[in-house]
Copies of this chain bind each other. A is one copy, B any other.
Amino acid sequence: MIYFRSDYSLGAHPKIMEALMATNMEHTDGYCLDHFSDETADMIREWIGKPDAKVYFMVGGTPTNTVTISSALRPYEGVISPSTGHIYVHETGSIEANGHRVFSAPTEDGKLRPADVEKVLLHHEDEHTVIPKMVYITHPTENGGVYTKAELTALSQCCRKHGLLLYMDGARIGTALTWPTNDLSLKEIANLVDAFYIGGTKIGALFGEALILLNDSLDDHFRYMIKRQCALLAKGRLIPVQLKALFEGGEDSLYFQLSRHENDLAIKLAEGVQGAGYKLWIPHQTNQVFVIMPNDQIAELEKDFFFYTWCPYDEDNSVIRLVVSWGTTEDDVMAFLKAI
């Protein structure tokens, strides 16, 4: 069985396992109160060019999103998300569980634009209505789309104009940063958003995300908020130990190497399926490829390949999602292309 199911079907990249093994028998204090946490936070601050940024290490994307958003909002405030956004679609109402509305904003292509945001703002009138206070985006989008510098700048300006906080979910941010047409650096992102996270779970680590707060107003008793959400890892150093191995070297880091690998194979896969006569559901970017396939062929492919059937396309066809992970090999891609 060959896996195109998700970004997390393997353990961690061997270099990360090595880092865990190498530090395994060192005693430290728990809960991220350790030198690995300090050093990795420093490394990240330097990488993004923000010496005063606050850095927190989290186990996964869902707790990162929930803690950040629920910490930022007062009870009567809500967050705007693309209707395809992870917090709206795939987190079982964790934001609502903390008492906040997620405003689901329809978008053209998964990217939130100023006009999409401004439509939601009309919702707010007075004390009978929820105040939209934060904007949530994923970069790349849930469908793999890469925001351009112009797009993110426009969104950022829109947010600042309306007093909205801008938060970026970077679960797969490495694949955006290394996408061939990308024109946004981490430093530029850090100037345009109020908070974002660099995700490790989906690109090489066992787990672990680095949350970066760039707006001091967000950093109120944040460790209390993490713990209250049950998201403070006892052996906290496990996250920075992994992320240090992953992020070290910046542009040349393992993180960027793995991201490029994913993008390269995904391009090969996308070109291959199109060459074989299939249509993509949406234009391809980064490590996810969405292909329209006849239902009976999907059933056939499922015997050898493990992937998601994303949604029906028409009566006879469905959309499948193929995810290229850091562990996907060229052989895997070739096997799929041969099978279709």
Binding site for B on A (CB under 8 A): 1, 3, 5-6, 8-12, 14, 17, 20-21, 23-31, 59-63, 66-67, 70-71, 74-76, 78, 89-94, 96-102, 104, 123, 127-131, 201-202, 206-207, 220-221, 223-235, 238, 306, 327
Nearest opposing residue in chain B for A106, CB measure: B106
Q: Which residue of B23, B94, B97, B201 is within 8 Å of A234 (Cβ)?
A: B201
Q: Which residue of B9, B74, B94, B233 is within 8 Å of A230 (Cβ)?
A: B94
B91, A59: Cβ atoms under 8 Å?
no
A96, B99: Cβ atoms under 8 Å?
yes
Nearest opposing residue in chain B for A130, CB measure: B93
In the assembled complex, the Cα of A12 lies from the Cα of B237 at a distance in Å of 12
Q: Which residues of B contact A76 (CB under 8 A)?
A: 92-93, 221, 224-225, 228
Q: Which residue of B20, B70, B89, B96 is within 8 Å of A129 (Cβ)?
A: B89
In the assembled complex, the Cα of A104 lies from the Cα of B102 at a distance in Å of 11
12 extra A-B contacts, CB within 8 A, seeds A21-B21, A93-B100: A9-B27, A20-B206, A59-B59, A66-B230, A90-B129, A92-B129, A93-B130, A93-B228, A97-B229, A127-B224, A127-B226, A127-B232
In the assembled complex, the Cα of A61 lies from the Cα of B129 at a distance in Å of 15
Q: Which residues of B contact A202 (CB under 8 A)?
A: 234
In the assembled complex, the Cα of A98 lies from the Cα of B101 at a distance in Å of 11
Q: Which residues of B contact A23 (CB under 8 A)?
A: 11
Q: Which residues of B contact A221 (CB under 8 A)?
A: 74, 76, 127, 131
CB A128 to nearest CB in B, in angstroms, measures 4
Knowing A1-B27, A226-B127, the reply to whether A74 touches B220 (Cβ < 8 A) is yes
Q: Which residues of B contact A67 (CB under 8 A)?
A: 230
Q: Which residues of B contact A27 (CB under 8 A)?
A: 1, 3, 9-10, 306, 327
Q: Which residue of B62, B75, B101 is within 8 Å of A232 (Cβ)?
A: B62
